């Protein structure tokens, strides 16, 4: 049932209204029965009372003799009782004796008490003498006997509805002989990826036609599973109304909730909007959070019987399916999903909020805000030397997929917050309960030796922002280390914990077809060049070499660079210029000998540059910083296997 | 490879030696490749570098016009540049224009930059006039363009080995077009249940022959899965050497680790011991922890090729399988498993220790110890009014399966600890990372109305220890509430938060075949009776009624009870006497009208007894106590639907 009435959409809805609208949607699946063996992580749909006694029989709890207690009354060392031995009873075997007055039967732990007997005399207090048992102790009825039902009694409440099943509950249910349990169903969530430009991972990609891989479908699908939902993926929908309508209606018939995600394209969003208006009910369009403006909430479908037919054991129903449209940018989509949708899925599945869903930490930097709407600010986590959690903002709204793994979660910043102070305590809602703070946060130059060193650390995070930006961040005090290549003017308080040198120069096609011999050829000849960005240490080395060349020629560097075709064509990563050359986009690229070797290309050496690892002076004793310091002096093999590297 | 040498077993091994022995066993599975879509919760086996640029093309990041930046140099409001419009480019479509000198093409966000163009002029800074574009702003190369590889550059390190895959990493891998990932394999763990008396849940149970359901197999199997292992269940093995050998050797061939568990039978343990000695290597027998004395650690099998054939893609190997034998009692088995085995499985699977595996709390009571060996003390958790975690000991060594759900985890108490003080801080290793402290801890009388009330609370824990024991525990200050039925002499400081009355008496077979009319028949006639234990409020009511009867007859209660056959035959739960009557074990049982009604039996009323809920005076404002207080005054339907109930 939909408990939220139709609304006007002129203004963005308040975030609370979005929570309410989603809470008002019916996602609740039917109860199902699953084998006990497969019930871990499920939630009991109803109370389970014991249907049998555990143990199911009066059970000897010691090795000894089954007797009638009355026959031992008054027995002691001085005047033992004497009983006639009539047989024995072993565990797992039905007793073939009945203990009468004046009789006893040998019994082992776990065995069924024979009829007539009501107590066990432990073996240490007896003696056997010619078929007669001498008992030196009086016992009371029930002594050394675990009565039927003493562990769990038939009729007793064993587990309540809503119990989350872990191994121990499964153990108790095993003891009760339960082999199938009634559990809350998992809400079925349909995922529709939209946008003409999206291609599913693994399918061939036509970059020339502007295709990109679909990031949101798998991100959200696995997020749904993490929240306890069951996913159905629908074929990719383009921007065509008929096709979109067909897929959305089918998904609504088959699912409790339909999520669309993927496209940033205005036309795809517009098409969905029209389908929801036509075939369902739009409850919310746009929420006053950043990100979240393009969020849609509504219902879809609702033809009687249609849903039940396709959902298997679901009873016939004419209730519509819930619909939420997520933003297109991956970080935004995951943020909105985790904030608004995942809690509703968990509720429907009967699952508690995971304990690890939020962590507290203090801001590692000051962050200004004051934007007038609720901001769900993506943040990264790290630990300081004392193991306290620090929080820093990550994404400034870009659609970069790398922000997905650079951010660990989201801090809610209220519309009237002007800034978050350095050191201010904040709550971070993690992107996943399984997210961990990295042990090391490194920033700076992108380098093949560094990649190999990082492989040997336990869950490091490295942001290849370039040497210059890395130093800037280190100065702000956030990262543990900055890796800085080439000449640098900036001085930042830090501790040099080691480094290496690497050979740099121009990378050209194999065999050097244009016969490039050095930087002067770039200036003098009609060669297409690919540069690195100004944050790169390699770029700093190139600039320094060009300064030198200009000085030699008594001209300005600007004069020289104006004559290099592609000097402004900058790329972000170490291998990128080489790969541009490989693709025929350029004749020469800035790069490392190691890269040229790796890609079987030609290389013209210009010089060596040093790469130094600078540690945050407050973090030199942090275990991960100590670990990378040790690696820098020990990992000879890493430097040996890369050409042009030295320490 | 087994890195621990053979040892002598005369003495119990130190717990550290057990950890070392298990750490020395080789459980590590081979790397496998899984579809990206199914990779959540897995661990990357190797570094993944980007094999392509993301985006894979230079991409317009705004709506506008693709131009050659040089053509706009110097343009401003006063002297706009004029360019010839030569076409348009849309997202997801290959451009069919080349932008030459003095030319521009309309372009939409996400579209491929056409050849020739190196910047986008945003639409707001332009005007179209008769096929001519008027540009009012100069742009630099790269303005409003996301260059190929600006998000992720080909060759860049994307994710390191050991990365735990959550939705966000799956998102990044999607962007890179990865559809299959190399992950650490799951160690295969074989589970063998032993003991002639054990029956798998769901199979028919012959209680007369002393059979009980196998608790440990499913408990440990789901514990293995929780730790990241893959389970193989083997057929139940009896105490026969040949059969045990056959099953153990088969399991060793097919698994990385073999666990046996289940039996408390000395002969089954002895048989396993002999098989390990014969077909493997015994490394440890008995560990100085309580529980854990019967623990075995060793290796099993190791014929060349045998393991590889059965493990599918595992390379040929002659390394033996690891073997650990767990104790028989369920709580002991789970404790030893979680302490010694689960960490080894997680390590082999490459999984981090779960953050929620331990919690800190303070002891709610003083606990004496000083037993001279490490004790793994099962404890329960609860919260006080301020939300602080309290810890109380649960199991004193019994084999009760109910302790499985009454205990939340284990506190390690060192051999030289004399006692844990009330309020002392302790670390609890949870039985499962998903274990939660219950919101309410109740103790006392077992009652059908109470069961229904508990169903309406969020994860309560109720221990049906009886009224008398419940009051004792409330006096010790541990539980939140105690439910007390019948007359009681003890006074405990508490707050009465509500209650009800219930009709009690004798339950007899339907139709009352023996024509029982009241308590005096039990005394006067040859009727077999089933009583409740002395902790039960029902028993207190019966004792009071018999006192009255004795006073009437001017005799002692003892005199009367001596004449009741079965007065000492006590049972633990409300329904147990009635069920004994149903089974023909007795002619009358102590019980409630509601129980007789439920089971369609006869009932002879003796009286009404009051049931009161007493709250711990320190916890009346705890939310769960407030919730049950509200239920006690509101849940009329619960009391209305049970016969003999009143408020």
Based on the fold, state whether residues A489 and A507 are members of the same structural domain.
Answer: yes
Chain B positions touching A163 (Cβ under 8 A) are 459
Q: Are B39 and B186 in contact (CB under 8 A)?
A: no
| Cα dihedral across residues A371, A377, A382, A387: positive or negative | positive
| Cα dihedral across residues B302, B303, B306, B308: positive or negative | positive
Instruction: State the pLDDT at residue B87.
Output: 94
**Can you tell me the mean pLDDT for B26-43?**
94
Q: Provide the CATH number for the domain around residue A194.
A: 3.40.980.10
**Within-domain flag for B341:** yes
Tell me the β-bridge partners of A145.
A60
Is the pLDDT confidence value at A314 over 50? Answer: no
pLDDT digits (tens, 9 = 90+) for A44-94: 999 999 988 898 999 998 889 999 999 999 999 899 999 999 999 988 889
Instruction: State the pLDDT at residue B303.
Output: 53
Is the pLDDT confidence value at A243 over 70? Answer: yes
pLDDT digits (tens, 9 = 90+) for B452-500: 999 999 889 999 999 999 999 999 999 999 999 999 877 899 999 999 9
At A178, the pLDDT band (50, 70, 90 cuts) reads very high
Distance from CA of A8 to the nearest CA of B (A): 29
Q: Are strands A126-129 and B602-615 parallel, antiparallel or unpaired?
A: unpaired
Distance from CA of A586 to the nearest CA of B (A): 14
Q: Which of A412-426, B252-266, B633-647 is the least confident region? A: B252-266
Domain range spanning residue B87? Answer: 59-146
At B228, the pLDDT band (50, 70, 90 cuts) reads very high
Nearest CB neighbour to A330, from listed B53, B171, B214: B171
Based on the fold, state whether residues B117 and B164 are members of the same structural domain.
Answer: no
pLDDT digits (tens, 9 = 90+) for B499-537: 999 999 999 999 999 999 999 999 999 999 999 999 999
**Within-domain flag for B335:** yes
Tell me the β-bridge partners of B207.
none
At B308, the pLDDT band (50, 70, 90 cuts) reads very low
Cα(B30)–Cα(B185) distance, integer angstroms: 5
**Within-domain flag for B65:** yes
Of residues A290 and A590, more confidence is placed in: A590
Chain-chain contact of A166 with B226 (C-beta, under 8 angstroms): yes
Cα(B135)–Cα(B79) distance, integer angstroms: 9
Q: Residue A10 CB: number of other CB atoms within 10 A?
A: 7
In terms of Cα–Cα distance, which of B198, B191, B253 is closest to B225?
B191
- The full length of chain B comes to 647
Based on the fold, state whether residues A599 and A521 are members of the same structural domain.
Answer: yes
pLDDT digits (tens, 9 = 90+) for A471-506: 999 999 999 999 999 998 778 999 999 999 999 999
Q: Which of A313-327, B149-163, B222-236 is the least confident region? A: A313-327
Buried b (16+ CB within 10 A) or exposed e, B242-269: eebbebbbbbbbbbbbbbbbbbbbebbb
Based on the fold, state whether residues B215 and B320 are members of the same structural domain.
Answer: yes
Instruction: State the pLDDT at residue B263.
Output: 58
* Chain A interface disruption, residue of B180, B218, B330, most A CBs within 10 A: B218
Based on the fold, state whether residues A362 and A431 are members of the same structural domain.
Answer: yes
Chain-chain contact of B571 with A151 (C-beta, under 8 angstroms): no
Q: CB neighbours of A391 closer than 8 A, spacing ≥ 6?
A: A361, A362, A363, A364, A379, A380, A381, A411, A426, A428
Chain-chain contact of A153 with B573 (C-beta, under 8 angstroms): yes
**Within-domain flag for B3:** no
- What percentage of chain A reaches a pLDDT higher than 70? 94
Cα(B504)–Cα(B608) distance, integer angstroms: 6
**Can you tell me the mean pLDDT for B29-42?**
95
Instruction: State the pLDDT at residue A154.
Output: 87
Is the pLDDT confidence value at B89 over 80? Answer: yes
Based on the fold, state whether residues A496 and A512 are members of the same structural domain.
Answer: yes
Given A401, A418, A437, the domain boundary residue is: A437
Instruction: State the pLDDT at residue B107.
Output: 94
Chain-chain contact of B153 with A195 (C-beta, under 8 angstroms): no
Based on the fold, state whether residues A430 and A522 are members of the same structural domain.
Answer: no
Chain B positions touching A142 (Cβ under 8 A) are 568, 570
At B309, the pLDDT band (50, 70, 90 cuts) reads very low
**Can you tell me the mean pLDDT for B150-162?**
89
Instruction: State the pLDDT at residue A308.
Output: 40
Chain-chain contact of A576 with B153 (C-beta, under 8 angstroms): yes
**Inter-axis angle of helices A167-175 and B216-226, nearest 10:** 160
* Chain A interface disruption, residue of B116, B194, B213, most A CBs within 10 A: B213
Cα(B262)–Cα(B270) distance, integer angstroms: 13
Q: Provide the CATH number for the domain around residue A42.
A: 3.90.105.10
Q: Which of A292-306, A528-542, B9-23 has the highest mean pLDDT?
A: A528-542
Instruction: State the pLDDT at residue B197.
Output: 84
Based on the fold, state whether residues B551 and B469 are members of the same structural domain.
Answer: yes
**Searching chain B, which residue's CA lies closest to the CA of residue A94?**
B209
pLDDT digits (tens, 9 = 90+) for A104-136: 999 988 899 999 999 999 998 999 988 899 999
Cα(B87)–Cα(B582) distance, integer angstroms: 90
Summarize chain B as % helix, strand, coil (round to 5): 30, 30, 45
Based on the fold, state whether residues B140 and B157 are members of the same structural domain.
Answer: no
Instruction: State the pLDDT at residue A306.
Output: 40
Of residues B544 and A238, more confidence is placed in: B544
Is the pLDDT confidence value at B4 over 80? Answer: no
Q: Which of A177-181, B401-405, B472-476, B535-539 is the least confident region? A: B401-405
Q: Provide the CATH number for the domain around residue A134.
A: 2.170.190.11
**Within-domain flag for A236:** yes
Instruction: State the pLDDT at residue A105.
Output: 96
pLDDT digits (tens, 9 = 90+) for A187-221: 999 999 887 788 999 999 999 999 999 999 999 99
Q: CB neighbours of B117 closer than 8 A, spacing ≥ 6?
A: B66, B67, B68, B99, B104, B105, B107
Q: Are A145 and A127 in contact (CB under 8 A)?
A: no
Of residues B371 and A286, more confidence is placed in: A286
Nearest CB neighbour to A402, from listed B151, B206, B436: B151
**Within-domain flag for B210:** yes
Cα(B443)–Cα(A255) distance, integer angstroms: 43
Cα angle value A152/A158/A161 (rounded, 5°): 175
Chain B positions touching A574 (Cβ under 8 A) are 153, 155-156
Is the pLDDT confidence value at B402 over 70? Answer: yes
In terms of Cα–Cα distance, which of B170, B592, B65 is closest to A435?
B170
**Can you tell me the mean pLDDT for A466-475?**
94
At A3, the pLDDT band (50, 70, 90 cuts) reads very low
Distance from CA of B637 to the nearest CA of A (A): 17
Tell me the β-bridge partners of A409.
A379, A430
Chain A positions touching B177 (Cβ under 8 A) are 199, 201-202, 205, 213
Nearest CB neighbour to A171, from listed B176, B218, B572: B218
Separate counts of helices (H) and strands (E) for chain A: 18, 37
Distance from CA of A400 to the nearest CA of B (A): 5
Is the pLDDT confidence value at A309 over 60? Answer: no
Chain-chain contact of B219 with A47 (C-beta, under 8 angstroms): no
**Within-domain flag for B1:** no
Distance from CA of A441 to the nearest CA of B (A): 14
Chain B positions touching A566 (Cβ under 8 A) are none
Q: Provide the CATH number for the domain around residue A642.
A: 3.40.190.10
Q: What does the mean pLDDT of chain B come to? A: 89
Instruction: State the pLDDT at residue A353.
Output: 79
Cα(A425)–Cα(B284) distance, integer angstroms: 50
Three-state SS for B320-385 is CEEEEECCCCHHHHHHHHHHHHHHHHHHHHCCCCCHHHEEEEEECCCEECCCCCEEEEEEEEEECC
Q: Which of A134-138, A393-397, B52-56, B211-215 is the least confident region? A: A393-397
In terms of Cα–Cα distance, which of A448, A538, A548 is closest to A485?
A538
Cα(A533)–Cα(A569) distance, integer angstroms: 8
Separate counts of helices (H) and strands (E) for chain B: 18, 37
Summarize chain A as % helix, strand, coil (round to 5): 30, 30, 45
**Can you tell me the mean pLDDT for B382-410?**
85
Distance from CA of B567 to the nearest CA of A (A): 11
Chain-chain contact of B226 with A575 (C-beta, under 8 angstroms): no
Q: Which of A100-109, B247-256, B356-365 is the least confident region? A: B356-365
In terms of Cα–Cα distance, which of B146, B168, B112 is closest to A398?
B146
**Can you tell me the mean pLDDT for A366-386?**
87
Given A325, A353, A381, the domain boundary residue is: A353
**Nearest-10 Cα torsion for A65, A71, A77, A82:** -70
Based on the fold, state whether residues A410 and A363 are members of the same structural domain.
Answer: yes
Q: pTM to 2 decimals?
A: 0.88
ipTM: 0.89
Chain A positions touching B159 (Cβ under 8 A) are 405
**Can you tell me the mean pLDDT for A597-624?**
96
Instruction: State the pLDDT at residue A304.
Output: 35
- What percentage of chain A reaches a pLDDT higher than 90? 66
Q: Are B288 and B15 in contact (CB under 8 A)?
A: yes
**Searching chain B, which residue's CA lies closest to the CA of residue A217?**
B171
**Within-domain flag for B75:** yes
Given B322, B353, B384, the domain boundary residue is: B353
pLDDT digits (tens, 9 = 90+) for B311-357: 444 444 467 899 999 988 888 899 999 999 999 999 999 998 787 77
Chain-chain contact of A355 with B207 (C-beta, under 8 angstroms): no
Instruction: State the pLDDT at residue B7.
Output: 39
Q: Which of A527-536, B93-102, B272-281 is the least confident region? A: B272-281
Environment class of residue A417 by beta-carbon count within 10 Å: exposed (0-12), middle (13-18) or buried (19+)?
Answer: middle
Indicate the number of domains in chain B.
5
Chain B positions touching A118 (Cβ under 8 A) are 569
Based on the fold, state whether residues B317 and B379 are members of the same structural domain.
Answer: no
Based on the fold, state whether residues B340 and B408 are members of the same structural domain.
Answer: no
Nearest CB neighbour to A56, from listed B207, B356, B570: B207
Chain-chain contact of A162 with B458 (C-beta, under 8 angstroms): yes
């Amino acid at each position: 049932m939909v408990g939220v009435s139709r609304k006007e959409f002129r203004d963005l809805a308040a975030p609370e209204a979005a929570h309410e609208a989603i809470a008002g949607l019916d996602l609740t699946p039917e109860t199902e029965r699953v084998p006990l063996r497969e019930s871990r992580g499920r939630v009991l749909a109803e109370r389970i009372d014991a249907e049998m006694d555990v143990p199911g029989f009066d059970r000897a709890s010691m090795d000894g003799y089954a007797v009638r207690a009355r026959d031992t009354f008054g027995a002691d060392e001085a005047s033992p009782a004497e009983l006639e031995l009539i047989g024995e009873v072993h565990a797992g075997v039905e007793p073939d004796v009945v203990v009468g007055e004046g009789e006893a039967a040998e019994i082992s732990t776990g065995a069924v008490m024979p009829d007539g007997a009501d107590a066990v005399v432990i073996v240490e207090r007896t003696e056997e003498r010619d078929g007669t048992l001498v008992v030196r102790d009086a016992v009371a009825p029930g002594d050394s006997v675990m009565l039927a039902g003493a562990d769990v009694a038939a009729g007793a409440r064993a587990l309540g509805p809503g119990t989350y099943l872990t191994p121990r509950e499964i153990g108790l249910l095993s003891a009760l002989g339960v082999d199938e349990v009634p559990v809350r169903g998992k809400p079925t969530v349909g995922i529709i990826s939209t946008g003409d430009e999206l291609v599913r991972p693994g399918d061939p990609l036509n970059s020339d036609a502007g295709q990109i891989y679909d990031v949101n479908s798998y991100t959200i699908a696995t997020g749904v599973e993490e929240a306890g939902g069951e996913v159905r993926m629908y074929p990719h929908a383009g921007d065509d109304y008929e096709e979109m309508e067909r897929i959305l209606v089918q998904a609504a018939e088959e699912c409790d909730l339909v999520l669309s995600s993927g496209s940033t394209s205005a036309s795809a969003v517009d098409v969905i909007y029209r389908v929801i208006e036509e075939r369902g009910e739009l409850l919310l369009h746009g929420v006053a959070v950043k990100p979240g403006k393009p969020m849609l909430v509504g219902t879809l479908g609702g033809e009687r019987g249609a849903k039940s037919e396709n959902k298997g054991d679901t009873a016939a129903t004419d209730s519509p399916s819930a619909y939420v449209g997520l933003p297109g940018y991956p970080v935004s989509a995951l943020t909105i999903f985790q904030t608004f949708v995942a809690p509703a899925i968990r509720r429907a599945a009967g699952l508690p909020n995971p304990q690890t869903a939020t962590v507290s930490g203090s801001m590692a930097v000051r962050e200004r805000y004051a934007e007038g709407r609720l901001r769900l600010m993506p943040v990264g986590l790290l630990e300081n030397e004392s193991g306290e959690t620090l929080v820093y903002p990550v994404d400034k709204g870009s659609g970069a997929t790398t922000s997905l793994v650079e951010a660990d979660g989201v801090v809610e910043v209220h519309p009237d917050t002007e800034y978050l102070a350095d050191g201010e305590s904040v709550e971070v809602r993690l992107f996943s309960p399984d997210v961990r703070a990295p042990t090391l946060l490194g920033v700076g130059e992108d380098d093949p030796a560094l990649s190999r060193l990082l492989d040997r650390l336990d869950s490091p995070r490295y942001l290849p922002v370039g040497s210059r930006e890395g130093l800037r961040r280190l100065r702000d005090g956030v990262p543990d280390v900055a890796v800085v290549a080439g000449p640098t003017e900036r001085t930042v308080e830090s501790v040099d914990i080691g480094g290496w040198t690497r050979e740099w120069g121009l990378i050209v096609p194999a065999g050097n077809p244009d016969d490039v011999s050095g930087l002067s050829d770039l200036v003098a000849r009609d060669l297409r060049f690919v540069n690195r960005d100004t944050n790169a240490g390699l770029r700093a080395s190139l600039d320094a070499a060009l300064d030198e060349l200009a000085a030699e020629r008594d001209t300005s560097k600007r004069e020289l660079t104006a004559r290099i075709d592609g000097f402004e064509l900058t790329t972000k990563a170490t291998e990128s210029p080489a790969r541009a050359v490989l693709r025929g986009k350029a004749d020469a690229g800035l790069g490392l000998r190691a890269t040229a070797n790796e890609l079987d290309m030609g290389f013209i050496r210009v010089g060596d540059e040093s790469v130094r690892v600078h540690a945050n002076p407050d973090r030199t004793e942090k275990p991960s910083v100590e670990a990378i310091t040790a690696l820098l002096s020990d990992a000879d093999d890493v430097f040996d296997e890369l050409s042009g590297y030295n320490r």
